[in-house]
Amino acid sequence: MILLSDLFREVFPDYETFPEHCVIREAIESGERDFLSDVLSIIHDAGQMPEFKYRLRLTHPAGRIHPGELEDAWDDHLERMTTEGLAFAWACTIGNLGRVGFTDDNGTPDLVTDGKVWIEAKTLGHSQEMGSINRAQLAAGRRGYLLPSPVMEISNDGLAPVTKKFLDHLADARRKRDRQPVPMPLVVFYRVDFDFTLESREKAKQSLRATAQTEHRRDGVRIVMCHRYDWAEPFVDTID
């Protein structure tokens, strides 16, 4: 079993220079890090762990005290790396897309398969406001990298900001695909990183499914959506 705390300790040996409420430092010091072990094992078995470690170092620079706004930005970047890891695990297993690798060009989608499919990983719902809530919980002594997400009530137009962010992310992924020299099919994997009230959950899922299917019919882009870390049980997959 590969623990996230062990991985962070290896990638960030001078983590003690980070602020106490930094998610990297908190993950190492708390030690209860097995909720992503299956994802890390899949990345390791695929031979992509060196690349994943490299991307982690770029995402959250080591060896520096990162104060103020930069600290928040780097911790948010780490959330995006988590989403890339979930997308990788899904593509290798549930998605059955063959051999998967991380790309090394900022102008391309995040992942590519040997079957020549682009995969773009997006986090939906993790905003600066939500990140601030999580960091405030850490500062108040709520230990644990896996923190409760803010709860969203869905009113008549309550999903409008979420839908807009979904479409903005999708447009960005399409732009990346369209500027590649060789056209390839595109998969966009979303991690929905907030919670709904029980009454709102099905309403939200139905709305997101409908929007995803509409966009899929436009140009065949495959859209996959999971809630938080449930990558093995996506609630949207437009290929179904």
Contacts of 202 (CB under 8 A, 6+ apart): none
Tell me how far apart the terminal alpha carbons of the chain are, to the nearest angstrom. Answer: 32
Containing structural domain, residue 211: 4-237
Spatial contact of 151 and 195, defined as CB atoms under 8 Å apart: yes
pLDDT (tens digit, 9 = 90+) per residue, 120-132?
A: 999 987 444 445 5
Question: How many domains are there within the chain?
Answer: 1
Task: Give pLDDT, residue 69.
Answer: 46
For 73, the token pair is 């930005």
pLDDT (tens digit, 9 = 90+) per residue, 186-222?
A: 999 999 887 666 567 778 888 899 999 999 999 999 9
Q: At what angle do helices 37-45 and 68-92 cross, to 10 degrees?
A: 70
- Nearest 5 degrees, angle CA 18-CA 24-CA 26? 90
Q: What is the mean pLDDT of residues 90-100?
A: 95
The DSSP element (H or E) to which 222 belongs, if any, is: strand 222-227
State the CB neighbour count (10 A cutoff) for residue 123. 21
Q: What is the pTM of this model?
A: 0.84
pLDDT (tens digit, 9 = 90+) per residue, 10-42?
A: 998 888 888 777 778 888 887 755 678 999 999
Bridge pairing between strands 111-113 and 118-124:
antiparallel
